Chains A and B, each alone.
Chain A
Amino acid sequence: MSTIIIPDQAKKKIITRKPELLAPAGSLEKLQFAIRYGADAVYIGGQAYSLRANADNFSYDQMREGVQFAHERGAKVFVAANIIAHNEDLGGMREFFQELYNVGIDAVIVADPALIQACKQAAPNLEVHLSTQASTTNWRSVKFWKDEGISRVVLAREVSMREIYEIKEKVDVEIEAFIHGAMCIAYSGRCVLSNHMAMRDSNRGGCAQSCRWKYDLFEDGYDFEAAEKAGEEGKALFGEGDEQYTMSPKDLSMLPYIADMIEAGVDSLKVEGRMKSIHYVATVSRAYRMAIDSYFEDPENFKVKQEWIDEVYKSAPRTLSTGFFYGSPSTEEQIFGEPDHPIPYDFAGLVMEYDEATGIAVLQVRNHFKIGDNIEFFGPDTFFQQKVEQIWHHVTDEPLDAARHPMSLVKIKVARPVKAFDMMRKEI
């Protein structure tokens, strides 16, 4: 299933400090799942200044609840305030950062110096991380930001593994790098395709993903009017039947190379996807948690397990690749034509309760499933596969042939013990 090749891990440098696993949390529910499934920290959006304007962004009350949940479990909460501000956005920033500090947020992730300054003035003790939107690609810029009081720099996605080593060697500041998820094909932030094509400001949360649209590529001198008259409109460098031009990158996964990321000294390993489902957040957090923990149990004999890679593919909407870490991506890192990797599983249910005596679990239905479906249960400490054998109505205990209504409760016979907050996915 995977196109990633497990690398030769012969050369090994031993690292003793565990990097942070940082997961996206587009809602309070996702925050809780990310942490239950192994994230050391999560990043969320507030109701202003965040680039994911239509993620289910947090109110201050929800933040407070999220922070409490996280801190009780030794996890941190960061707020992404990563827009590029226009003048009209400048008012209110100080109150915003002050409020984040009061709520107990551990750090803010900021790209625009206007917001950095506002934060430093309004909440001097609130840690500031420089967002990947600032496109920090070299050690001298990293040092510049460190000298400005930035405690952590999220590197541009264009930085290679070798460059990370150099940066860590030359500058003593925390480094965060993306290890998983979708990527901007442009330098993050250096793209206003949406502004031109959809009248939406990409750098203020309006990105319409125009890069993934289809285009035709033409050569100079192509006269549309003449061509149209001749009935040739739409004739491009490549003809009909050829795949159209697009700029859709494969997604990133450094799971097979997690040892390289750890050994490069990256302090925080970041997963993309505030807009993605709890199934994605849980699946990805869990897989990386297992990999990182396994590394630190025995660094010298660490081996990447194929089952971890298979796991992340169960929530991956695209084929996975290694981005810029081992050189500039080429044709193979691009997706042309149809989406290349339909997710092979649906998130079907969430375990609410489990009765050990009967081996019956109460599930909250998230997607239709029926008797005979191949399913998997997984959780922070759970993993097994089975077939759906029996389903009952939660209240009446009436036998059902299928669970049809999302968010309704059903009972199901499970092959092994499960726990509340475990998930069930169904093979498509």
Chain B
Amino acid sequence: MKKPELLVSVRRFEDVIPLIEAGADALSVGDERYGLRNAGNFTVEQIDETIKLAHERGVKVYVNVNSLLHNEELDALDDYLKHLEQVGADAIVFGDPSVLATAKDVALGLKLHWSMEMLSTSFDTANYWASKGAKRAVLARELTIDETIENRDNTEIEVEAQVHGATCIFQSRRDLVSAYFGHQGKDMEAEDTGMERSMFLKEEKRRNITYPVYEDAHGTHIFSAEDICMVDGLADFVTGNIDSIKIEGLLHTSEYIIAVTKIYREALDLCVSDMDAYYDKAADFLAEIEAIQPKNRPLNTGFYYKPPIPYMT
């Protein structure tokens, strides 16, 4: 049994200290240029400052460098990685092999977390990236709890799993919402299609299932209709020796993320110190989150207990 790190993605710089005070052990941040689906976009200066504030308080900072890069973005990558190493980022999160290769060339001291989102599925693949220098596997959100623990048991590197929040279910390089506005005769350039507009899609045959969607410099992103919530299921992560559990702040308010972090902190501490007491209180923790949960974001347990059918029949 092991006490997992509680990792939270940060929506805005002002939230850094409140999140640390709420109990985060580690923070996830990113600059839109190289970071995909950051809970909020930080400038490089804000990342530097976050690292400083966090380190003063014994908290780690992982920086998203997880985009799929095109040639022209490689030019400035060297300097960016050198900079992150110099300011003491505790790790960078990568999804494109070019980032790993560049880090090995110019910023050997940077710890690498492998995260290809839906592609980070098996321990063989995790071990492959470990052999290339990755120190952590950020697992796909589509795995069952058994697969998650099996991956932990069969890799030498750390394993991170998401326990709360929205998950990305689709990324296109195309600006699909703008294209739709254009098709409807709207001025594509004038329409706000960013995260803050909070748009969502509803499939025509399904009622009350809404998938958030936004566009940014990396294209179009679509998210799960529900927020994962494992606050009453932390025992599996703790007994399964998962190294880091993540609260994804994306698409939520600062107040919500801070409140959820507090609840998870308490739940996790109790789970580790007194499992029986945790089981007794698990439903209460869930109720606390339900009480602040936005109505259009139902909670569920993702794929942890419900794998999709792998093949067509």
Q: Contact check, B179 vs A331: say whether CB atoms are below 8 A apart.
A: yes
Contact indicator per residue, chain A 74-96, by CB within 8 Å of chain B (1) or not (0) = 00000000001111011000000
Q: How far is the CA of A42 from the CA of B225 in the complex (A)?
A: 40
| Contact of B312 (CB < 8 Å), options: A53, A113, A330 | A53
Q: Which residues of A contact B200 (CB under 8 A)?
A: 217-218, 220, 222
Contacts A206-B309, A336-B183: A224 and B222 contacting too (C-beta < 8 A)? no
Q: Which one, A237-245, A380-388, A419-427, is touching chain B?
A: A237-245
**Interface assignment of B122: CB less than 8 Å from any CB of chain A:** yes
Q: Contact check, A192 vs B179: say whether CB atoms are below 8 A apart.
A: no
**Interface assignment of B22: CB less than 8 Å from any CB of chain A:** no
| Contact of A214 (CB < 8 Å), options: B123, B151, B204, B308 | B204
Which residue of the partner chain B has the closest CB to A198?
A: B308
**Interface assignment of A112: CB less than 8 Å from any CB of chain B:** yes
Q: Contact check, A87 vs B123: say whether CB atoms are below 8 A apart.
A: yes
| Contact of B71 (CB < 8 Å), options: A90, A138, A191 | A138
Q: Contact check, A200 vs B128: say whether CB atoms are below 8 A apart.
A: no
**Interface assignment of B277: CB less than 8 Å from any CB of chain A:** no
**Interface assignment of A211: CB less than 8 Å from any CB of chain B:** yes
Interface-central residue, B117, B173, B208, by most chain A CB under 10 Å:
B173
Q: Which residues of A contact B310 (CB under 8 A)?
A: 86, 200-201, 204-206
Q: Which residues of B contact A136 (CB under 8 A)?
A: 97
Q: Contact check, B101 vs A141: say whether CB atoms are below 8 A apart.
A: yes
Nearest-neighbour CB distance to chain A for B117, whole angstroms, equals 7
Contacts A90-B124, A193-B169, A331-B188: A140 and B176 contacting too (C-beta < 8 A)? no
Q: How far is the CA of A222 from the CA of B201 in the complex (A)?
A: 11
Q: Contact check, A84 vs B184: say whether CB atoms are below 8 A apart.
A: no
**Interface assignment of B43: CB less than 8 Å from any CB of chain A:** no
Q: Contact check, A331 vs B183: say whether CB atoms are below 8 A apart.
A: yes
Contacts A53-B312, A135-B68, A195-B308: A185 and B295 contacting too (C-beta < 8 A)? no
Q: Which residues of A contact B188 (CB under 8 A)?
A: 330-331
Q: Contact check, B207 vs A233: say whether CB atoms are below 8 A apart.
A: yes
- Name B198-234 residues within 8 Å CB distance of A: 198-204, 206-208, 210-211, 213, 219, 222, 224-225
**Interface assignment of B292: CB less than 8 Å from any CB of chain A:** no
Contact indicator per residue, chain A 265-294, by CB within 8 Å of chain B (1) or not (0) = 000000000000000000000000000000
| Contact of A201 (CB < 8 Å), options: B122, B173, B176, B309 | B309
Q: Contact check, B147 vs A144: say whether CB atoms are below 8 A apart.
A: no
Q: Which residues of B contact A201 (CB under 8 A)?
A: 142, 307-311
**Interface assignment of B119: CB less than 8 Å from any CB of chain A:** yes
Interface-central residue, A163, A197, A213, A215, by most chain B CB under 10 Å:
A215
Nearest-neighbour CB distance to chain B for A49, whole angstroms, equals 11
Which residue of the partner chain B has the closest CB to A245?
A: B180
Which residue of the partner chain A has the closest CB to B120?
A: A84
Contact indicator per residue, chain B 138-157, by CB within 8 Å of chain A (1) or not (0) = 00001100010011001000
Contacts A86-B122, A215-B203, A336-B180: A191 and B170 contacting too (C-beta < 8 A)? yes
Q: How far is the CA of A186 from the CA of B213 in the complex (A)?
A: 13
Q: Which residues of A contact B73 (CB under 8 A)?
A: 138
| Contact of A334 (CB < 8 Å), options: B123, B176, B202, B307 | B176
Q: How far is the CA of A329 from the CA of B172 in the complex (A)?
A: 11
**Interface assignment of A408: CB less than 8 Å from any CB of chain B:** no
Q: How far is the CA of A169 from the CA of B91 in the complex (A)?
A: 32
Q: Which residues of B contact A206 (CB under 8 A)?
A: 308-312
Q: Contact check, A221 vs B198: say whether CB atoms are below 8 A apart.
A: yes
Nearest-neighbour CB distance to chain A for B189, whole angstroms, equals 11
**Interface assignment of B69: CB less than 8 Å from any CB of chain A:** yes
Contacts A139-B71, A186-B171, A220-B197: A247 and B176 contacting too (C-beta < 8 A)? yes
Contact indicator per residue, chain B 45-69, by CB within 8 Å of chain A (1) or not (0) = 0000000000000000000000011
**Interface assignment of A300: CB less than 8 Å from any CB of chain B:** no
Nearest-neighbour CB distance to chain A for B178, whole angstroms, equals 8
Q: Contact check, A185 vs B183: say whether CB atoms are below 8 A apart.
A: no
Which secondary structure characterizes the binding site on chain A? loop
**Interface assignment of B256: CB less than 8 Å from any CB of chain A:** no
Nearest-neighbour CB distance to chain B for A318, whole angstroms, equals 15
Q: Contact check, B182 vs A114: say whether CB atoms are below 8 A apart.
A: no
Q: Contact check, B183 vs A214: say whether CB atoms are below 8 A apart.
A: no
Q: How far is the CA of A113 from the CA of B151 in the complex (A)?
A: 15
Which residue of the partner chain B has the closest CB to A204?
A: B310
| Contact of A185 (CB < 8 Å), options: B174, B180, B199, B224 | B174
Q: Contact check, B198 vs A324: say whether CB atoms are below 8 A apart.
A: no
Q: Which residues of B contact A137 (CB under 8 A)?
A: 68-70, 96
Contacts A87-B150, A213-B204: A112 and B119 contacting too (C-beta < 8 A)? yes
Q: Contact check, B309 vs A218: say whether CB atoms are below 8 A apart.
A: no
Contacts A203-B119, A331-B188: A113 and B128 contacting too (C-beta < 8 A)? yes
Q: Which residues of A contact B210 (CB under 8 A)?
A: 218, 224
- Name A129-180 residues within 8 Å CB distance of B: 135-141, 143-145, 156, 158-159, 163, 166-167
Q: Which residues of A contact B98 (CB under 8 A)?
A: 138, 140-141, 144
Q: Contact check, A185 vs B125: say whether CB atoms are below 8 A apart.
A: no
Nearest-neighbour CB distance to chain A for B56, whole angstroms, equals 35
**Interface assignment of B121: CB less than 8 Å from any CB of chain A:** yes
**Interface assignment of B177: CB less than 8 Å from any CB of chain A:** yes
Q: Contact check, B175 vs A195: say whether CB atoms are below 8 A apart.
A: no
Interface-central residue, B170, B210, B219, by most chain A CB under 10 Å:
B170
**Interface assignment of B296: CB less than 8 Å from any CB of chain A:** yes
Q: How far is the CA of A328 from the CA of B179 in the complex (A)?
A: 11
Q: Contact check, A113 vs B125: say whether CB atoms are below 8 A apart.
A: yes
Q: Contact check, A330 vs B170: say whether CB atoms are below 8 A apart.
A: no
Q: Which residues of A contact B121 (CB under 8 A)?
A: 84-87, 112, 203
Q: Contact check, B184 vs A243: say whether CB atoms are below 8 A apart.
A: yes
Q: Contact check, A138 vs B74: say whether CB atoms are below 8 A apart.
A: yes
A-contacting residues of B (Cβ < 8 Å)?
68-71, 73-74, 96-98, 100-102, 117-119, 121-125, 128-129, 142-143, 147, 150-151, 154, 169-180, 182-184, 188, 197-204, 206-208, 210-211, 213, 219, 222, 224-225, 295-296, 303, 307-312
**19 extra interface residue pairs, beta carbon distance < 8 Å, beyond A200-B312, A222-B296:** A85-B122, A90-B124, A138-B71, A140-B74, A141-B69, A141-B98, A144-B100, A186-B171, A190-B118, A195-B142, A205-B312, A210-B203, A214-B204, A217-B200, A217-B213, A238-B184, A331-B183, A334-B179, A334-B183
Offer 20 A-B interface pairs, CB within 8 angstroms, sorted by A: A112-B121, A114-B128, A139-B71, A140-B97, A140-B102, A141-B98, A144-B100, A163-B71, A186-B170, A187-B68, A190-B118, A204-B310, A215-B203, A218-B199, A218-B201, A219-B198, A224-B207, A225-B295, A243-B184, A328-B175
Nearest 6 interchain pairs by C-beta = A220-B198, A140-B98, A331-B182, A114-B124, A113-B128, A144-B97
